[in-house]
A and B are shown apart, each in its own frame.
Chain A
Amino acid sequence: MGFWQVLEEKGWYFFVTLLGGWPETLLVAAGALIYALLFGLIIALFRISRWRLLRYPAIAYVEVFRGTPALVQLFVIYFGLPDIGFEPTPLQAAIVGLGMNGAAYLSEVYRAGIQSIHRGQLEAALSLGMTPRRALQHIVLPQAIRTMLPPITNFAIVLLKDTSIVFVVGVVEVMALARNLVTETLQSAVIYLMAGALYLCVTIPMARLAMHLERQRQVWH
C-alpha cells in the first residue's frame, strides 16, 4: 500500500488515536512547568544567597542537571529510585524528572532576571518614600517579569517537546501511542509524520507568541 492510500484508509483512525495522547502530554508538560517554576525559584534564591552553605549546593545542582541528558535523569528516577525504596508511577517520574531538569534551567533565567534590575532602582524607590514591599511590587517585579517572560515561554516550548521522551518510563502520551500504532499496523511513515505535524500545530504558534513577547519587551525598554 502506498502512502496516500494508507492515509486515506487509516488516516482518521491514526489521527483520533494520536489526539487521545494529548491530554497526557499536556499534563506532563504542565506538571513539569509548575514544578520547574517553583523549584527553580528556590534554586535561584539559594544561588544568589550570601551564604556558601546555600550557594554551593545550588551551583552543584544546576551544573549536574544541566550537564547530563534528561533521558538519563528519567532513568535514574524511574528505574533507580526503586533501589532505595521509592517507586514512582510513570507520571510522577516524568513530571519530577522533567521538572528537576527544568528547574536547573529556569533558576538561571530567574537569576538573570533578578540581576538585570539595577540596585539603583530599588534604592530610588525607597528614597522616594516607598515601603520595601511597594518598591518590590511596583518597581522591581514588573521589570523582572518583563525580562523573564520571553525565556520562560521559550522554556515551555522546549518542555512540551521534551515530553516526547517520557514514553521511556511508561507514560502513554502522543509519542507512546505513535509507537504503539506502528507496532500494530507497521505504517511508520504516515504515523510518525502525522505525530510530527501534531507537535508543530502546538509548538509553532507558541514560538510566535514567544517572539511577540520578546518584541514587546524591546519596545518597553
Chain B
Amino acid sequence: MLQLPEIYAENIHRWLPELLYFSLTTLKIAFVSFLLAVAIGLLFAICRTSKSRALRALAIGYIEIARGLPIVVVLYIVYFVPPQLFPGLNWQWFTDFTGAVIGLALHGGAILAEVFRSGIEALHRGQREAALTLGMTPTQAMAYIILPQAIRIVLPPVANYAIGLLKDTALCSLIGVNELMNDAKSIAFADYQPMAVFLLVAAIYFAMSYPLSLAVRMMEWRFSVSR
C-alpha cells in the first residue's frame, strides 16, 4: 500500500519549492496569453459585428476554425508549422514559450470574441439613444449606461475562460515548455513517485484555479441580485 503521508514527509522539502517555482511559469503563460486573447477577442468581436461583409466573414472563419480545433492541435500547428513553411526567416526568437502563448491566445481569442459579441448585442441600441435624449453626453452614456451593463454580461464568462485557460496551460508541456506539468513529469519519473507527485501537482493547480471560480460565483450572485 502506498504510504502517501510518509512519502510527502520525506520529499516535500525538495518537491514543493521546485514545483512552486515552475508554477510561476504557468501563471506567466496564463497571464500573457490572457491579455493577448482579450485583445484578439475584442478585435474579432468588432469585426464580427461590423457592417462590412468581408470583415464579418473573416471573423466567422477565424472563430469557427479556432473553436473547432483541439487546443493541442492549435499548439502543435502554431509551434511546429510556421518555421517549416518559411524556413528562410529567422526563428531564433520563436521559443516554445512564445509558441505556447500565441497558441493559447489564438484559441482564447475565438472564445472571447463570441463572449464580447454577445455583450455588444445584448445591449439594445435604444439604451444609448435614450441616454442621449435625456441630455447625457456620449461619454457619459458610455460610462454610466453602456459599460456597466456590458461588463455585467461579459465578466462572468471572461472569468470562466480564465479558469479554463489556467488549466489549459498544462498542455504547453506537450510542446516542451518548462512549466508546472513538465517539471512534475520529470520529478515523478526521476523519483519513481508518480502518484504522490501528480496528486501534489493537482493540488497546486486547484489552489490556483479555485479562488477564480469562487470569484465567478460571487460575481454571478451579485449581478443577479442587483438586477
Contacts and interface: CB of A to CB of B under 8 A. Distances in A.
A130 to B, nearest CB: 33
A195 interface: yes
Interface in A142-184: 161-165, 168, 175, 178, 182
Interface residues of A, number: 40
A69 B73 contact: no
Given A72-B201, A207-B64, A188 B194 contact: no
A71 to B, nearest CB: 4
A17 to B, nearest CB: 16
Contacts of A164: 70, 72-73
Contacts of B206: 64, 67-68
A68 B202 contact: yes
Given A192-B80, A192-B81, A80 B64 contact: no
A3 interface: yes
Main secondary structure of the interface of B (DSSP, over half): helix
B69 A199 contact: yes
A175 B205 contact: no
A78 B194 CA distance: 9
Range, interface on chain B: 35 or more
Interface of B: 1-2, 64-65, 67-74, 76-77, 80-81, 84-85, 167-171, 173-174, 181, 184-185, 188, 193-196, 198-199, 201-202, 205-206, 209-210, 213
26 contacts: A64-B202, A64-B206, A67-B209, A67-B213, A68-B202, A68-B205, A68-B209, A71-B171, A72-B198, A72-B202, A75-B188, A75-B198, A76-B199, A79-B188, A79-B195, A161-B69, A161-B71, A168-B174, A187-B84, A188-B84, A192-B80, A192-B81, A196-B74, A196-B77, A199-B69, A204-B64
Interface of A: 3, 63-64, 66-73, 75-76, 79-84, 161-165, 168, 175, 178, 182, 187-189, 192-193, 195-196, 199-200, 203-204, 207
